[in-house]
Amino acid sequence: MSDLSITALLIVALFLILGSGVWIGLTLSGVAWIGMQLFSARPAGDAMAVTVWGSASSWTLTALPLFVWMGEILFRTRLSQDMFRGLAPWMQWLPGRLLHTNVIGCAIFAAVSGSSAATCATIGKMTLPELARRGYPEDITIGSLAGAGTLGLLIPPSIIMIVYGVTADVSIAQLFMAGVFPGLLLAALFSGYLMLWALLHPRRVPAADPPQSLKHKLHESRHLIPVVLLIAGVLGSIYGGVATATEAAAVGVVGALALSAAQGSLDWRTFRDSLMGGTRLYCMIALILAGASFLTLAMGYIGLPRHLAEWIGSLGLSPLGLIVILAAFYIVLGCFLDGISMVVLTMGVILPTVQKAGIDPLWFGIFVVLVVEMAQITPPIGFNLFVLQGMTRREIGWIARVTLPFFLLMAAAVLLVWTFPQIVTWLPHRMSG
C-alpha cells in the first residue's frame, strides 16, 4: 500500500474509534496497534509495553500532576471572589469598565493554573453573576471570558507547555519564560478590543460606580496579595534558577494549601476533592500521552513522518507558508481533539519538518500553544465553549459567535509573533545568557 493509503486508513480508524465513544488515549493506542500489526515487522505488543512504560515513568512529566493539583486546590478557595474585590475599583476609569475583570482576572489566575478550562470556569464563577447583576451585556461578557480563558494555556505555568516540552525535548523553564510576553500581548489585545467596543456602544455599558478615594482602592487591593505571593513563589523560583519546573510545581502546591488554610477553606473534604479532581485529570492526560507515544513509535516504524516531512519539503514552502498551513491544520484538528491530544499526536510528524525549515523549536512551541488556544474556542469540541455552555446554558453556536472577535485577535497575535519573533525568544535568551 502507498503512504497515502496507509495514512487514510489510519485516519479513518482513528475517527471511527473516537466516534464510537472510546477514550482518546485508548483510541491512539488502538490505531498504533493496527498500524504496527498490519504494516510493520515488529511485534506490536512488545513495542506497546516498552513505550507506555517509558512514557509513564518520565521524570520531566512529574510537574504536570502537581500543577494540576495546585489548580484544583485554588479552584476550591475564595481566591476568585477576593480577586474581583481587589481588581474592580481600578477598572472604573477604563472604557468598558468591569468587563476588563474577565481579561485581567484570567491573566492573573492563568499564572497559578496551567489549565484553560480551569481558568475559564474559576473566573467565570466570579465574574458572570457579578457582571450580570450590574447590567453588563451577556454577549460581550461571555465572549470576553471565553477568549481570555485561553490565557490559561499561554501564561506560565502551562500544562500544555509541559507536554510540548516533554514531546519535543525543549526546556520547560525556557518555554515558561517564552510564554510571558505573548501572554501579556494577547491580554493587551483583548483589553484593547473591549475598550473599542465600549467606545462604539456607550449605551450598553452601565454607569460607573461612585468615585472612590485612593486609600479605599489600595485597601481593597489587599485581597490581591495572596495570589501575587503565590505567583511570585512559583515563577520566581523558576526564573531565579532556584528550582526546576517540577520543584516549582511542588512549591505551588504547598503555597496553595497554605493559602487555602489561611482562608479557612482547607478541610478534609476540600483536600480530598482537590486531590481526587487532580488525579482524575492527570490520569486522563497520562493515558493520552502514553497512547500518543505508542502512536508516534508506530508511525516511525511505518515511516510516515519521514515521508510526510519529505512531501511537505518537496512542496517548496517558505517558512511562512509552512506556518500558515500548520496554523490551519491545528485549527481544523481542534474541531475534533483537545489541545493536549493535538500536541502529542502531531509532534512526532511535524517537528522534523519544522526543524528542516529552520524554525526554532522554542518559538514553535509558543506558536503551537497560540493555535491550540484558537482551537479551544472553535466548535464543536472547543473545551472553553463546553465549559461556558455548562455555566450559562446557552447554545454552543451562540457562544462560538460571540467569541469570534477574540478568535480573530488570536490570529492577529500569531501574525505579530511571526513578524517579531523576539516577543517569544528575547526573555528566555536573556535569562539563560
Q: How many domains does the chain have?
A: 1
| Cα–Cα distance for residue pair 226/262, rounded to 1 Å | 10
Report the pLDDT value the prediction gives residue 272, as an integer from 0 to 100: 92
| Cα–Cα distance for residue pair 105/134, rounded to 1 Å | 17
Distances (CA, A) of 124 to 31, 87, 140, 271: 37, 15, 13, 23
Residue 23: inside a domain? no
Q: Are 145 and 128 in contact (CB under 8 A)?
A: yes
The CB-side HSE value for 357 (13 A sphere, CA atoms) comes to 26
Residue 286: inside a domain? no
Cα dihedral 71, 65, 154, 433 sign: positive
Other C-beta atoms closer than 10 Å to the C-beta of 77 total 24
Report the pLDDT value the prediction gives residue 308, as an integer from 0 to 100: 65
Report the pLDDT value the prediction gives residue 337, as an integer from 0 to 100: 66
Cα dihedral 176, 253, 338, 408 sign: negative
Q: Are 218 and 87 in contact (CB under 8 A)?
A: no
Report the pLDDT value the prediction gives residue 306, as an integer from 0 to 100: 66
Provide φ and ψ at 73, rounded to 5°. -65, -50
CA neighbor of 127 nearest in space, from 154, 99, 153, 146: 99
| Coil, strand or helix at 284 | helix
* Region class of 87: left (phi > 0), else alpha (psi between -120 and 50), else beta: alpha
Cβ density class 184-206: b for 16+ within 10 Å, e for less: ebbbebbbebbeebbeeeeeebe
The helix-helix angle for 63-75 and 268-302 (nearest 10°) equals: 140
Q: Which amino acid is at 427?
A: L
Tens place of pLDDT per residue across the chain (433 aa) = 666 677 778 878 877 887 787 877 788 888 888 888 888 777 888 788 888 888 777 776 777 788 778 877 877 777 766 777 777 777 777 787 888 888 888 887 777 766 677 677 777 777 787 788 888 888 899 999 988 888 877 887 787 888 899 888 888 889 988 998 999 999 999 999 999 999 988 888 777 667 777 787 778 778 778 878 887 888 788 777 788 777 888 888 898 899 888 888 888 998 999 899 888 878 877 787 788 778 778 877 877 766 766 676 677 788 888 898 888 888 877 766 667 777 877 787 788 888 888 889 999 999 998 998 888 787 655 667 777 777 787 887 888 889 899 999 999 999 999 999 999 999 888 876 6
Give the pTM: 0.74
CA 347 to chain centre: 16
- H helices present in 111-267, as ranges: 116-133, 138-149, 151-154, 159-168, 172-178, 180-200, 214-220, 225-239, 245-262
Residue 153: inside a domain? yes
Q: Tell me the residue range of the domain where 230 lies.
A: 58-205+213-266+303-432
Q: Which amino acid is at 320?
A: L
Residue 162 corresponds to which cell in the numbers above? 509541559
Q: Judging by beta carbons within 10 Å of its beta carbon (0-12, 13-18, 19+), is residue 231 exposed, middle or buried?
A: buried
Q: Which amino acid is at 302?
A: I
Q: Are 181 and 369 in contact (CB under 8 A)?
A: no
